[in-house]
C-alpha cells in the first residue's frame, strides 16, 4: 500500500496535470462547464478519501475520468429525469457497468482537441480579458487560484470572485463549447493565456516548485497547435518562438543545489541549440510580414540573448530600443521595468534608476525591488540596495528566488 505522503503527492499531481484535460473532455461530453468542473472536484475528493486505504490506481488519469464521468451522471440523475442534459446522457446512463471501466485519456491531434476547444470557450468575447485569462488558466492550465492571483498581481479573493463571475456568465449566456468561425477573433486573448501558462511552468509563482517544465511544455504544445491552424499569424509565431527561446535555457536556470542562476552566469553550451534554431526560423518568418506586435517584439528581444555567444556580447542598446518600441505598443508597468533594466545595462545604472523611479503600480512586485536593489548596488548605494533586497525577499514567491535574494542581501549588508 502506498504511504500517505506518496498518495498525497499523486493526488496533487493528478489534479494539477490531468484535471484540466479531464474537465475539458467532460465539458465536451456533457456540454456543461459547471457540471464538468464540479464533477472533477468530486472525483478528487473521492481520491483523497479512498486512495490512502486502497492505494494509487494503475491508471490515475483514467480513474479520474471514469469517476468524474460517473459523478456527472449522478448529478444529472439527481437534477431531474426530464432535464435536457440528462436525456443527452441517456446512452451513458444505460450502459452496463463493464462498459464504463477506467478508460485511458486519448490525446486528440486536430483543432477539435477538447483542451483547445475549452480554451476558446474561456476566451469568448462576452468575457472581459482578465476573466478570459483567469478562467482558462484555472480550467485548462490546471493552476490554482493562488497561482493565478500571483500571476495577475491581485489578491486571491479578488481572483476567486472573477472566476465565479466568468463561469456564471458562460452558464447564463449558454455560450457553446464550439470552435468559432473566426478563430482569429480570439487569438490575442488565447496568446496571453498561453504565455501565462508557460511562465507559470517556467518559474512557478505558487512557491511549491521552481520549475514545472511539463506545464511549460504543455503551453508550447498548445501554441504549436494554434500555429498549425494560423500558420501566417506573426503574433502566434512570435509567442511560439519566445517560448522556445526560454525553454532552450531551462536546464541552466537553477544549479544542482536548486539555486537560481542568472542569465549572465548560465552555461550557454548547455542551451538547447535545436530549440533556438526553431525559434530563429519562426522569428524570421514573422518579422518578414509586418510591423511587429507585442509577442513578436518579446521574441526579438529573447533572440538577442539566445544568439549571443556570451553575456558580454549581448547587444543591450538594441534590446533597450526594442523594449522602447514594446513600451509604446504595450505600456504596462512590467514592460517599463524591463525597459529600465535594459537601459541600465546599455547606458549605466543611473539612467536605469531614473526610469525605475517613474514607474507606478509595482510596489508589490518582487522583481521591481530586486532590480532596484541591483542598480543601487552597482551605483555604490549599499544601504539603499539592502532595503530594496529586503523588500524583494519578502515578496518573492519561489524558493530559488528567495535564496538568490538572500545571497544578494548578504553581499551588500
Tens digit of each residue's pLDDT (9 = 90 or more) over 45-92: 999 999 998 999 999 999 999 999 999 998 888 765 444 544 555 544
* Higher-confidence position of 307 and 31: 307
Q: Quick check: helix, strand or coil at residue 254? A: strand
How many CB atoms sit inside 10 A of residue 291's CB? 10
List helix spans (H) across 80-175: 84-88, 90-94, 114-122, 129-139, 145-152, 156-173
pLDDT recorded at residue 111: 40
pLDDT, tens only, 126-136: 888 888 888 88
Contacts of 61 (CB under 8 A, 6+ apart): 14, 18, 21, 22, 104, 105
Q: Indicate the range of 26-35, 62-71, 96-105 predicted with least confidence.
A: 96-105
What is the average pLDDT score of the chain? 84
The reported pTM is: 0.73
- Region for 154 from its dihedrals, namely left if φ exceeds 0, alpha if ψ lies in -120 to 50, beta otherwise: beta
Which grid coordinates belong to 276?
A: 533556438
Confidence of residue 12 (pLDDT cuts 50, 70, 90): confident
Q: Return d(Cα 101, Cα 181) in angstroms, integer.
A: 36
pLDDT recorded at residue 85: 44
pLDDT recorded at residue 344: 97
Confidence of residue 98 (pLDDT cuts 50, 70, 90): very low
Q: Residues 202-232, buried b or exposed e (16+ Cβ, 10 A)?
A: bbbbbeeebbbeebbebbbbbbebbbeeeee
Q: Return d(Cα 338, Cα 312) in angstroms, integer.
A: 19
Return the bridge partners of 260, or none: 254
- Region for 142 from its dihedrals, namely left if φ exceeds 0, alpha if ψ lies in -120 to 50, beta otherwise: left
Residue 106 DSSP symbol = P
Domains and CATH numbers, the chain: 4-100 (1.10.1740), 114-212 (no CATH)
Q: Is 370's pLDDT higher than 60? A: yes
List helix spans (H) across 316-365: 316-329, 333-347, 349-356
pLDDT, tens only, 223-254: 998 888 788 899 999 999 999 999 999 889 88
pLDDT recorded at residue 84: 52
Confidence of residue 214 (pLDDT cuts 50, 70, 90): low
How many CB atoms sit inside 10 A of residue 303's CB? 22
Which grid coordinates belong to 53?
A: 486505504
Which grid coordinates belong to 3?
A: 504511504
pLDDT recorded at residue 49: 92
* Higher-confidence position of 9 and 112: 9
Confidence of residue 31 (pLDDT cuts 50, 70, 90): confident
pLDDT recorded at residue 129: 80
Q: Is residue 122 a contact partner of residue 140, using CB atoms and an 8 Å limit?
A: yes
Q: Tell the burial category of 238 from Cβ atoms under 10 Å away from its Cβ (0-12, 13-18, 19+).
A: buried
pLDDT, tens only, 158-174: 999 999 999 888 888 88
Amino acid at each position: 500500500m502506498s504511504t500517505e505522503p506518496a498518495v498525497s503527492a499523486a493526488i496533487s499531481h493528478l489534479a494539477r496535470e490531468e484535471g484540466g484535460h479531464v474537465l475539458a473532455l467532460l465539458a465536451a461530453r456533457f456540454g456543461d462547464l459547471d457540471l464538468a468542473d464540479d464533477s472533477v472536484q468530486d472525483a478528487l475528493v473521492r481520491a483523497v478519501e479512498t486512495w490512502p486505504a486502497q492505494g494509487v490506481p494503475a491508471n490515475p488519469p483514467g480513474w479520474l475520468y471514469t469517476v468524474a464521468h460517473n459523478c456527472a451522471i449522478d448529478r444529472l440523475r439527481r437534477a431531474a429525469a426530464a432535464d435536457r442534459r440528462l436525456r443527452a446522457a441517456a446512452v451513458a446512463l444505460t450502459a452496463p457497468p463493464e462498459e464504463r471501466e477506467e478508460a485511458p485519456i486519448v490525446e486528440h491531434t486536430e483543432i477539435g482537441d477538447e483542451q483547445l476547444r475549452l480554451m476558446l470557450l474561456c476566451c469568448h468575447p462576452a468575457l472581459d480579458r482578465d476573466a478570459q485569462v483567469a478562467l482558462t488558466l484555472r480550467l485548462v492550465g490546471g493552476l490554482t487560484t493562488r497561482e493565478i492571483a500571483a500571476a495577475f498581481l491581485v489578491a486571491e479573493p479578488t481572483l476567486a470572485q472573477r472566476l465565479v463571475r466568468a463561469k456564471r456568465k458562460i452558464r447564463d449566456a449558454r455560450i457553446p463549447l464550439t470552435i468559432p468561425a473566426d478563430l482569429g477573433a480570439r487569438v490575442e486573448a488565447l496568446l496571453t493565456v498561453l504565455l501565462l501558462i508557460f511562465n507559470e511552468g517556467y518559474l512557478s509563482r505558487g512557491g511549491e516548485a521552481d520549475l514545472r517544465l511539463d506545464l511549460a511544455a504543455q503551453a508550447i504544445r498548445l501554441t504549436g497547435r494554434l500555429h498549425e491552424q494560423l500558420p501566417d499569424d506573426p503574433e502566434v509565431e512570435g509567442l511560439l518562438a519566445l517560448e522556445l527561446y526560454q525553454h532552450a535555457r531551462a536546464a541552466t536556470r537553477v544549479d544542482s543545489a536548486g539555486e537560481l542562476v542568472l542569465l549572465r552566469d548560465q552555461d550557454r553550451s548547455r542551451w538547447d541549440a535545436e530549440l533556438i534554431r526553431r525559434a530563429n526560423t519562426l522569428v524570421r518568418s514573422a518579422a518578414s510580414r509586418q510591423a511587429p506586435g507585442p509577442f513578436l517584439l518579446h521574441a526579438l528581444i529573447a533572440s538577442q540573448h539566445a544568439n549571443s555567444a556570451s553575456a558580454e556580447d549581448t547587444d543591450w542598446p538594441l534590446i533597450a530600443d526594442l523594449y522602447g518600441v514594446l513600451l509604446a505598443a504595450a505600456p504596462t508597468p512590467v514592460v517599463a521595468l524591463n525597459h529600465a533594466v535594459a537601459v541600465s545595462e546599455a547606458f549605466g545604472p543611473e539612467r536605469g534608476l531614473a526610469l525605475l523611479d517613474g514607474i507606478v503600480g509595482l510596489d508589490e512586485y518582487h522583481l521591481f525591488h530586486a532590480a532596484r536593489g541591483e542598480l543601487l548596488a552597482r551605483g555604490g548605494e549599499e544601504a539603499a540596495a539592502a532595503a530594496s533586497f529586503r523588500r524583494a525577499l519578502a515578496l518573492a514567491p519561489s524558493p530559488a528566488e528567495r535564496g538568490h535574494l538572500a545571497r544578494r542581501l548578504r553581499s551588500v549588508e
